[in-house]
């Protein structure tokens, strides 16, 4: 059982290098399995977005009034 848990944990640990490079502030991750969407908010609590754009690879970039990126919405997240 411990080996299976360790192998499962390895899937999450591969994200550590990415997390290291993010700004050092609380952020939120939420995965909606029914919609297969990953929501990433770079502020906790989340900042409101006033604008957004959809990229060619189905990622919605959300911006605030100052044109700062406040979050990402990753569509079809499980297929990445």
- pLDDT given at position 34: 97
Per-residue pLDDT at 4: 63
* CA-CA-CA-CA dihedral for 9, 11, 13, 19, to nearest 10: -140
Partners of 32 in beta bridges: 37
Task: Dump pLDDT digits (tens) for 1-41.
Answer: 555 677 777 777 777 777 777 778 888 999 999 999 999 99
Which tens digit of pLDDT belongs to each residue from 48-70? 999 999 999 999 999 999 999 99
Q: What pLDDT score was predicted for residue 11? A: 75
């Amino acid at each position: 059982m411990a080996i299976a848990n360790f192998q499962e944990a390895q899937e999450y640990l591969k994200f550590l290098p990415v997390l290291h490079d993010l700004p050092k502030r609380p952020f939120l991750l939420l995965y909606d399995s029914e919609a297969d969407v990953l929501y990433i908010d770079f502020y906790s609590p989340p900042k409101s977005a006033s604008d957004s754009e959809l990229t060619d690879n189905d990622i919605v970039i959300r911006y605030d009034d100052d044109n700062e990126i406040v979050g990402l919405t990753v569509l079809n997240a499980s297929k990445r």
